[in-house]
Amino acid sequence: MIDLPGDELQSTDYRSLESRWINRELADIAKIRRVDSDTGRQLVGRRDQGDYAGLAIPYFLPGESLVREWRLRRDHPDIEYKDGKPKERASTWRHLGERT
C-alpha cells in the first residue's frame, strides 16, 4: 500500500469531481487526497502564506509507486482578472524529478 499525505476524500469532494466526469471509483484509483493548507503548500513547494487547502492529485510513472509530481486543485485559488472578468488561476504543480 502507498502511504500518501492528506485524508480520504469527503462526499463534497466526490460530488465536485463527478461534475468533472471523475466518478468515485476513478478518484480512488487515482489516489486523490484532501489536504489542508500546510500540507498542500509543502506538496507543491510554496513558501507564501496563501491558502493551499484542496485536492492533491499524485502523478506516478507506469509501474512505479513513488509520486513523480503533484497537482493541487485549491479550494480557494487565486483570482486574476482578464478584460474585467474574474478567472481562477491555473492549478499548482510540483515536479519532483527523477527518482533513483
Per-residue model confidence as pLDDT tens digits over 3-29: 899 999 999 999 999 999 999 999 999
Query: Is 38 domain-assigned?
Result: yes
Work out whether strand 92-95 and strand 54-60 pair parallel, antiparallel, or are unpaired.
unpaired
Query: Is 27 domain-assigned?
Result: yes
Query: Is 63 domain-assigned?
Result: yes
Query: Is 50 domain-assigned?
Result: yes
Q: What angle do CA 9, 57, 67 make, to 5 degrees?
A: 120
Rg value, the chain, Cα: 14
Query: Is 40 domain-assigned?
Result: yes
Domain that holds residue 40: 11-95
Task: Enter the pTM of the model.
Answer: 0.83
Give 28-77 pLDDT, tens digit per residue.
Answer: 999 999 999 999 999 998 888 899 999 999 999 898 888 999 999 999 98
Query: Is 100 domain-assigned?
Result: no
Strand partners, 58: 70
Query: Is 84 domain-assigned?
Result: yes
Q: How many domains does the chain have?
A: 1
Query: Is 4 domain-assigned?
Result: no
